[in-house]
Amino acid sequence: MGLLDELDKYSEEWIENFLEKVTGERIEEILKKEELTLEDYLSLLSPAAKNYLEEMALRAHKKNLQHFGKTILLYTPLYISNYCVNECVYCGYNKNSGIPRKKLSLEEVDREARIISDKGIQHILLLSGESPVDTSMEYLEDVITVLKKYFQSIAIEIYPLKEEGYKRLVHKGVDGVTLYQEVYDREIYQRLHPKGPKRNYDYRIHALERAIKAGVASVNLGALLGLSDFRKEAFYTGVHSKYLLDQHPSVATSVSFPRMQPFLGGYQDIEPVADPDFVQILLAYKNFLPMTGITLSTREDASLRENLIPLGITKMSAGVTTAVGGHSSDQEKTEQFEISDNRSIEQVKKSILNKGYQPIFQDWVSL
């Protein structure tokens, strides 16, 4: 049974009916269990579970210590191009947004990489807009060759590739792939992606499996919270994550739950996800799949990020700019979205230490 079959087993109507029936007694029984099922996970996402966040936090903390210890891996994103052929209505890189477009030369990539590397970071996340012409395979291969001089681990967050494309980048040094489905609700997905290759829901949702077959060591997935009902989206993210874990147990799987943030020309039709709801999602997921990682980006503010560290976070970005060339250029920057945590890498490192955790700059080395 494939991924789409797994997702289709849980209709929106079924999820709504299930959530209405969850009781406090059910939550208490779940939190006593050693291993949780998908239905248990959905129960922890329910309104009834809001009264048990403290108990969920204690269990999540304990489980995370068993699998990850008291460590937080630090990484920095590097934006190399904001050219995009899609018309996603919620994104600042939208083809029709009118923002100034920029693509880094290899010399500029080298300068950005050197600045980041000099601050101690050894894990880099390479990002671009979705434009196979402007960020061609040949260009990406050249960029990765430059980055290999500075970093032990290179992950990519770019447009979905065929398996052969991922193989080419793995051969050059890529070991991780991040790709968000954005929204799992197919009807909403089609409405939010009116034109462009990203409109192909099925091609995108199978991309991480193609990357795994191509040899990547880690994958990171997630939904962009605010585009649809957060409980359903968090649940479908869990279904997707568990499927990859079951089918490819040797690959490190992690998730992110980014919340919509303002951007130039701002998309307004957002279903807000309050902080308590966001915390509930993270706790429910960590209780469900404690052996997988949770990545927390600078979309969240510094105080919240610091307080979430003991609750199952395993990876955090630091020293972030979402502008192309933003690490080295003093010119006016057009960012993909507004970040909320503007602290330096050193400041994030100190906050992690203050929480009694160890910031990790080099997790493992790809050979």
**Domain residue limits, the chain:** 3-360
Question: Looking at the domain covering 3-360, what would its CATH class be?
Answer: alpha beta
- Looking up tokens 């503007």 gives 342
Question: Which H or E run contains 306?
Answer: helix 302-308
Q: Distance between CA 155 and CA 158 in Å, rounded?
A: 10
Burial of 328 (0-12, 13-18, 19+ CB in 10 A): middle
- Please state the pTM of the whole predicted model: 0.94
Per-residue pLDDT of the chain (367 residues; tens, 9 = 90+): 799 999 999 999 999 999 999 999 999 999 999 999 999 999 999 999 999 999 999 999 999 999 999 999 999 999 999 999 999 998 888 888 888 999 999 999 999 999 999 999 999 999 999 999 999 999 999 999 999 999 999 999 999 999 999 999 999 999 999 999 999 999 999 999 999 999 999 999 999 999 999 999 999 999 999 999 999 999 999 999 999 999 999 999 999 999 986 544 566 678 889 999 999 999 999 999 999 999 998 889 999 999 999 999 999 999 888 889 888 765 445 554 567 788 889 999 999 999 999 999 876 544 4
Hey, what are 98's tokens?
A: 């009118």
- In Å, how far are 91, 99, 156, 187 from 268, measured between CA atoms? 11, 18, 29, 18
- In Å, how far are 211, 315, 324, 333 from 329, measured between CA atoms? 33, 27, 9, 8
Strand partners, 126: 78, 156
Nearest to 170 by CA among 118, 204, 205, 219: 219
| Residue partners of 345: CB distance under 8 A and separation at least 6 | 74, 76, 119, 120, 121, 318, 319
Hey, what are 332's tokens?
A: 């006016």
